[in-house]
Amino acid sequence: MNKVLQRLLIFFVGIPVVVALIIPNFLNKIFFHALVLFFAIAASWELCNILDEKYSKKFKTLIIILSSSLPISTFFCGLFNIGYEMITLIFIVDLIVLFICEIFFRQDFTNSNSKISKAILNIFYSGFLASYLCRLTTFEYPTILICFFVITVFLSDSAAWLFGMTFGKNNRGIIAASPKKSIAGFIGAFLATIALAFLFYYFLGKTYFPKVSLCNWICVCVIITAISIIGDLIESVFKRSSGCKDSGNIILGRGGALDSIDSMFLAAPIYYYLIYYFI
């Protein structure tokens, strides 16, 4: 199966599956939380391999546990109506646990600086950022807002790929981190998500969010698209620095879990605060 068919299959089959997991409201959308946790764990494991292949299995396991503690805690905070300030505290406790392990369970501290820095990045990226996806479940109309976010990010990525393949042959190489990215691809991503903002506003936005203007939804889509592109590019930097092409191979046509959710993890906090303050 060629890559075009693989990506189309993921877009037209993968998104409906994700939406099907988002819709049920049972136990504060536990199925959606489980999906986020799965990707957080997979992303943490893959990031361990990208950042430092010399990590021991015990240290990798520790990082994954600390990373997964954040989306898990977010689920319980939402379920029992506990303030999300608790997540920041848990993040700090995770770092303290990491420091304690490095202090008391190592004899050689030659590469401790690098090891701790990479572990903190991993916990922040795979756990703390992922927790913002879980926080979306406590908004009014969470199904609509989560689906809108997921579709915006996936549409941005797919449109960038499609426009880049079709119109980007002569305008690539503008970004060293990902030379195959093109100006046409970036333009396509913004055009597609702006079109989505129009459709969302006229079919759902005016009904469920009557006080929110079309301009606001367009701004949300433009900002999320921009952050999504940055999220995709920073993961390219991680991989290029480590000399690997894909973060893994568990997602058909896309590579690893991190290859599929890099844009979403980085954009989730921005989207959360845009909704919180402006929507």
pLDDT at 217: 97
pTM: 0.92
Q: What is the pLDDT of residue 11?
A: 66
C-alpha to C-alpha distances, 36 to 117, 227, 269, nearest whole angstrom: 24, 19, 14
Q: How confident is the model at residue 174, as a pLDDT?
A: 86
Measure the CA–CA gap between 196 and 179, rounded to whole angstroms.
27
Which one has a higher pLDDT value, 278 or 201?
Answer: 201
Break the chain into its structural domains and give their ranges. 3-278
Q: Per this entry, what is the length of the chain?
A: 279
